[in-house]
Structure 1
Amino acid sequence: MNLPPLNAVRAFVAAARHQSFTLAASELHVTHSAVSRQIKVLEAFMGVRLFDRRIRQVSLTVEGLRFYAQADAALKQIAVATQSVMGQAPARIVRINVRPSFAVRWLIPRLPNFVARYPGIEPHVLTDTLPPDKALDSFDIAIRRGHGGWPASIELRPFLEDAVCVVASPALLAMHPIDTPNDLATLMLLWAKSRKGDLDAWQSHVGVDKIVPSGQMQFDHVHFVLQAAIDGLGFAVVPITLASSGIASGQLRCLFPELRMPVTRYYYGIATDAGSEAQLFSEWLDHELLKHKNAF
């Protein structure tokens, strides 16, 4: 049976559906050039041209239209057959142990990407403030800061480097412009019990005068602090990892980005009895790490 490469067919069908290599690349989580290469492979295999390529535009040839109609239907049939078998198979689960703020502010906003890439694997997020070696529930992967509190059997892998910065909402800053660190005294300080010393440590590290905020609000966890900052209640000195989704979405602004204070980096560990799902999640974490480095 002389079958074309399946990945090339998937790339072709996505590009044909969108009439765009760029949109196809976004759907498949690959680069524009990867889609272009796959389609060239398919055209070479079939010996026909499937797309007419123009500047910033592609369109299907007659042969491309004919192949798309049948290839799209064939891929859908494969998906139906796969789902039918998977529906009868045991659920594939990866259990991820993280602190609540990391779950809400870093992991969960990125999980749709993992689910899209591995639709057959269910991520179960277990939030816990205890260190991994005292976790109440078993896990496949745990993510924490530093080397302390890990079971001796787990090999640690370096993950996110981190630093704290000052954040506030654009709406608040529009009403109360902040040009220098001393201007923060006009705003309310938002802080979490678990990171109550960050403002003093940051001031000492970057060498600014002691700031006396107009008031203070305390919260149990950093994700509550960040939500309060997004809602315009005041400013916060928080880890960039936890503020990254808010900064990327425009809900928060990092003030004085050049004045950052490094803090303990994150590590992740895989349980010795974890299945292949954990290895796939590990590879996805490494991919997200590269994206985080490029963004910040």
Structure 2
Amino acid sequence: MLPRLPPLNAVRAFAAAARHQSFTRAALELHVTHGAISRQIKALESHLGVDLFERKTRQVLLTAAGHQFHAQIGPALEQIGAAAELLRGGAALRSVKVNVRPTFAVRWLIPRLPGFVAKHPDIEPQVMTSTLPPDKATDEFDLAIRRGTRGWPSGMQVQPFLEDEVLVVGSPALFASRPVTSPQSLASHVLLLSKSRSKDWEGWKKQVNAPGLKPASCLQFDHLHFVLQAAVDGLGFAMAPVSLIVHDMASGRLVSPLPALRLPLTGHYFGMAPQPSPETQHFVQWLMEELGGVGRSWGGVEEELKYSTSSGADSPAMGIE
């Protein structure tokens, strides 16, 4: 009968921390948080019934038991890796793990992924969706994309990626039946809101000098993806980040009756570890090529922002900025 195995994720975390003599550097290697490494090692210590590290103010040191355990598991982990590589025919699996928010995955990243796969058929992109900031991630990743510069693990390379704005959108049929030619026209429509972006409407009203404007009624959803689907289905209008409606605008599923009235948003950033893998570098290069091909601001949706009069609505009084 096989002996009871310890939690293998915790063993991997311990091996990295023991090798670096640092929980922080282990977290960077595995693309998780310092807290995640600490919790894994505490779980392992609880399983084994011994302390593996001596924790000091700014340093962790292996105990005698820690040294013994590390010396024994190192060869075992190498043997597991060698066995897996042998079954793969000697070719290492090439992949890149990308951590993004669910709506960004559905609305921006996934529709573009066939281009990456066609260009790099030997690299498997693994899309991991999470609403947590990168420094709270529970699973390791190679690359993350989020708005703003907060919530990133220390030591991670964070770079500007995609600028963005929010504007009014809805289905062509909705605005054809009740035309919108000014912000005040929205008072006869239903506003679709998401809990994650509940402040966009108030910010947009201030931006267009209509702070007292109220919609006929409101419908709230948990996630922006549901809001945009409700807008496509004609349930009301939405305040949508332009980066997330490129394909809906291009296909005509959504239109904007007030394309000149936009609210600037915090831009997207991407972050990766200090020594990214070649696969991660290829993915980042592809991301930047995507922006270069469509324009860094808003993802090439500018032409679709020209509201079509063929939808039956009157043209807005203000033109494209």
Same fold (TM over 0.5): yes
Q: Tell me the distance in 2 between the aligned counterparts of 1:222 and 1:200.
A: 16
SS in 2 for 1:226: helix
Question: In the alignment, is residue 206 of structure 1 matched against residue 238 of structure 2?
Answer: no
For residues 99-178 of structure 1, what are the structure 2 equivalents within 5 Å?
99-178=101-180
For residues 1-296 of structure 1, what are the structure 2 equivalents within 5 Å?
89-208=91-210, 210-272=212-274, 274-293=276-295, 294-296=300-302
Letter in 2 for 1:184: L
Alignment check: 8 A CA contact 1:140 1:273 kept: no
Give CA-to-partner distance per residue, 1:265-290, whole Å, 9 cap, x none: 01001123542111010001101112
Q: Tell me the distance in 2 between the aligned counterparts of 1:178 and 1:254.
A: 9
Alignment check: 8 A CA contact 1:165 1:255 kept: no
Equivalent pairs counted in the alignment come to 211
Give CA-to-partner distance per residue, 1:165-224, whole Å, 9 cap, x none: 000011212222212211111111101001111111101012125322122111111111
Q: What's the CA shift for 1:155?
A: 1.1
SS in 2 for 1:152: coil
Q: What's the CA shift for 1:295?
A: 3.9
Alignment check: 8 A CA contact 2:242 2:301 kept: no
Name the TM-score, length of structure 2 as normaliser: 0.63
Q: How big is the alpha-carbon RMSD for the aligned residues of Structure 1 and Structure 2? A: 1.6
Q: Tell me the distance in 1 between the aligned counterparts of 2:163 and 2:115.
A: 21
Letter in 2 for 1:207: N
Name the TM-score, length of structure 1 as normaliser: 0.68
Identity %: 52
Letter in 2 for 1:126: M
SS in 1 for 2:162: coil
Q: What's the CA shift for 1:87?
A: 7.7
Q: Return 5+ residue gaps in structure 2 as ranges.
A: 1-87, 303-321
Q: Tell me the distance in 2 between the aligned counterparts of 1:87 and 1:188.
A: 58
Q: Tell me the distance in 2 between the aligned counterparts of 1:115 and 1:250.
A: 27
